[in-house]
Every structure is written in structure tokens, then in C-alpha cells.
Amino acid sequence: MSKLPSLKPKEVARILEKDDFCFIRQKGSHRLYSKGDINIVIPWHSKDLRTGTLRTIISCSGMTVEEFLKWK
């Protein structure tokens, strides 16, 4: 497993948008991004995402950690 850097939700959203994910809607403090049949919810706070949350977002996107960080 690769070591994940600390990322803010805004940075994660930017990476997903580079991989053709589209912002669908926001409900409270969570944003929904979609690409085909894949839906990803990102908690939208000002602090860094927890490592487990970030790892789950990456695996749901269908990318590996290395592929995800390549977009950074």
C-alpha cells in the first residue's frame, strides 16, 4: 500500500473532475460526484479527509492509489 498524503475535499474533488467525474448535487456537508454508474460522496469540510475515507473514495472511483495521485 502506498502512503497517502493529507488532502482536503476540494483537492479530491478536483482530481475526480480531471477523471471525468461530474458534480451532481450537495446535501448538507456532502457532495455527490458521478461518472457513468459510479457515484461517490465526498464529505465537504475544511479539514483534511481521514485516510480511511480517502482510501474508500479512491477504491470506489475504480482507480489505484498511484493512478489517483498521478492526477494530483
> Is the backbone of residue 13 left (phi > 0), alpha (psi -120 to 50) or beta?
alpha
Q: What is the pTM of this model?
A: 0.90
Question: What is the secondary structure of 16-62 as a DSSP string?
Answer: HHHTT-EEEEEETTEEEEEETTEEEEEE--SSPPPHHHHHHHHHHHT
User: Where does the pLDDT of residue 2 fall: very low under 50, low under 70, confident under 90, or very high at 90 and above?
Assistant: low
So where are the chain's domains?
9-70
Give per-residue pLDDT as tens, 10-38: 999 999 999 999 999 999 999 999 999 99
Domain 9-70 has CATH 3.30.920.30: yes
